[in-house]
């Protein structure tokens, strides 16, 4: 039995990862400062004999004994990461240093939840891992994008300089149950608006595209990466290459919820990328991974969850 630390374990992805790790027979130490994470996400685990919760901010050093680390701590939605941009960069950079320091001391493997945001507003489409990105260092998304880019640099330097075994995962838009209802991410936004019968807010003309990965597929990719062959570091894209415009997504959600909501169009926020789509050849080759859950099926499960929450 391994003892696994999940930073950001009370968040959307972190809580699903805790479920999976416990199911695999591990002990889980969930570390979270509850900035965007919620007790309700892990409520069902609090009495589990192999689950332990620690309220802690990863920008402060942590001394615990564990066998593996998944570093997920960081607000992921623009509304939340732009709320306190300095703290966002601190969480990404100082948080990564603290978790890497722990991995170095314990001589253990550590996985970083990086992001497709490291590609910024990409000039090539779709995006392979070799693409170096197009990020506006001065923009309002930079606290997150540059924080995550610097965290990747730290991971590779700890690996080269100190021999820490690392796994770096670049996560593309992921959705599913336990997303925060008010975090402004497009899938949760549209579903909540559709269920409440409110206008569905589309930024720009709605022709910008995104690819959406259901959470179970994401967690399978994350787990496979952590358990991939020694020496495979990534970075590896984990996302669903199926591409949809915001208009298509909105119409699909309206249909699935039988909503009477209308579409309204608002100006595009600064630095909003026009398109994002992962090349997943590396994940297929190294992890034998590809997404299996269709958008319609994933949306149906997510809508069921939000119906219970609202």
- Are 224 and 289 spatial neighbours (Cβ–Cβ below 8 Å)? yes
Q: Which is nearer to ligand NAD, 176 or 259 (CB)?
A: 176
Q: Residue 283 interacts with ligand NAD (CB under 6 A)?
A: no
Where in 50-69 is the site for ligand NAD (CB under 6 A)? 57-59
Q: Residue 291 interacts with ligand NAD (CB under 6 A)?
A: no
Smallest distance from ligand NAD to CB 241, Å: 15
Query: Catalytic residue among 70, 81, 144, 214, which?
Result: 144
Q: Which is nearer to ligand NAD, 78 or 259 (CB)?
A: 78
Nearest to 148 by CA among 161, 160, 133, 163: 133
Smallest distance from ligand NAD to CB 276, Å: 10
Q: How far is CA 217 from CA 8, 132, 307, in A?
A: 19, 25, 22
From 26, 27, 33, 186, residue interacting with ligand NAD (rule: CB under 6 A): 33
Site size for ligand NAD, by CB under 6 A?
28
CA 197 – CA 194 distance, rounded (Å) = 5
Q: Residue 12 interacts with ligand NAD (CB under 6 A)?
A: yes
Q: Which is nearer to ligand NAD, 72 or 280 (CB)?
A: 72
Q: Which is nearer to ligand NAD, 73 or 287 (CB)?
A: 73
Nearest to 129 by CA among 224, 210, 222, 235: 235
Nearest to 296 by CA among 219, 240, 238: 240
Smallest distance from ligand NAD to CB 28, Å: 14
Nearest to 57 by CA among 20, 82, 26, 84: 84
From 5, 72, 236, 283, residue interacting with ligand NAD (rule: CB under 6 A): 72
User: How many of the other CB atoms lie within 10 Å of CB of 28?
Assistant: 26
Q: Residue 74 interacts with ligand NAD (CB under 6 A)?
A: yes
Classify residue 21 as left (phi > 0), alpha (psi -120 to 50) or beta. alpha
Contacts of 75 (CB under 8 A, 6+ apart): 35, 36, 81, 83, 88, 91, 144
Q: By CB under 6 A, which span of 6-14, 193-201, 244-252, 267-275 interacts with ligand NAD?
A: 6-14
Q: Residue 35 interacts with ligand NAD (CB under 6 A)?
A: yes
CA 236 – CA 107 distance, rounded (Å) = 23
Smallest distance from ligand NAD to CB 181, Å: 12
Token pair of 143 as six digits? 């606290």
CA 239 – CA 252 distance, rounded (Å) = 20
Token pair of 304 as six digits? 């069921």
Smallest distance from ligand NAD to CB 260, Å: 29
Q: Residue 110 interacts with ligand NAD (CB under 6 A)?
A: no
99 phi and psi angles, rounded to 5 deg:
-70, -40
107 phi and psi angles, rounded to 5 deg:
55, 55
Q: Which is nearer to ligand NAD, 15 or 259 (CB)?
A: 15
Q: Is 223 a catalytic residue?
A: no
Q: Residue 122 interacts with ligand NAD (CB under 6 A)?
A: no
Q: By CB under 6 A, which span of 74-82, 132-140, 199-207, 271-279 interacts with ligand NAD?
A: 74-82
Where in 158-197 is the site for ligand NAD (CB under 6 A)? 171, 173-174
Nearest to 228 by CA among 157, 180, 301, 284: 284
Catalytic residue positions? 144
Q: Which residues bind ligand NAD (CB under 6 A)?
A: 7-8, 10-14, 32-37, 57-59, 72-76, 91, 95, 113, 115, 171, 173-174
């Amino acid at each position: 039995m391994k003892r696994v630390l999940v930073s950001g374990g009370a968040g959307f992805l972190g809580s699903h990862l805790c479920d999976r790790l416990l199911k695999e027979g591990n002990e889980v130490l969930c570390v979270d400062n509850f900035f965007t994470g919620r007790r309700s996400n892990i409520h069902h685990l609090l009495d589990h004999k192999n689950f332990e919760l620690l309220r802690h901010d990863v920008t402060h050093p942590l001394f615990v004994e564990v066998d593996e680390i998944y570093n997920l701590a960081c607000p992921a939605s623009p509304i939340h990461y732009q709320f306190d941009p300095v703290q966002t960069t601190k969480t990404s950079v100082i948080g990564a240093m603290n978790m890497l320091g722990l991995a170095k001391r314990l001589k253990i493997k550590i996985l970083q939840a990086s992001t497709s945001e490291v590609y910024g507003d990409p000039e090539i489409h779709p995006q392979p891992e070799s693409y170096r990105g197009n990020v506006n260092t001065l923009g309002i998304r930079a606290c997150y994008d540059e924080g995550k880019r610097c965290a990747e640099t730290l991971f590779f330097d700890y690996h080269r300089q100190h021999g820490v075994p690392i796994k770096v995962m670049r996560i593309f838009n992921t959705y599913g149950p336990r997303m925060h209802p008010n975090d402004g991410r497009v899938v949760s936004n549209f579903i909540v608006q559709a269920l409440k019968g409110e206008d569905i807010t589309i930024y720009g003309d709605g022709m910008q595209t995104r690819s959406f990965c259901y959470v179970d597929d994401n967690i399978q990719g994350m787990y496979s990466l952590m358990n991939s062959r020694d020496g495979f570091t990534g970075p590896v894209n984990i996302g669903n290459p199926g591409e949809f415009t915001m208009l298509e997504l909105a119409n699909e959600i309206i249909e699935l919820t039988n909503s009477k909501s209308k579409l309204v169009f608002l100006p595009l926020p600064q630095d909003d990328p026009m398109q994002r789509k992962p090349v997943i050849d590396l994940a297929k080759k190294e992890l034998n991974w590809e997404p299996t859950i269709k958008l319609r099926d994933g949306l149906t499960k997510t809508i069921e969850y939000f119906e219970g929450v609202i």
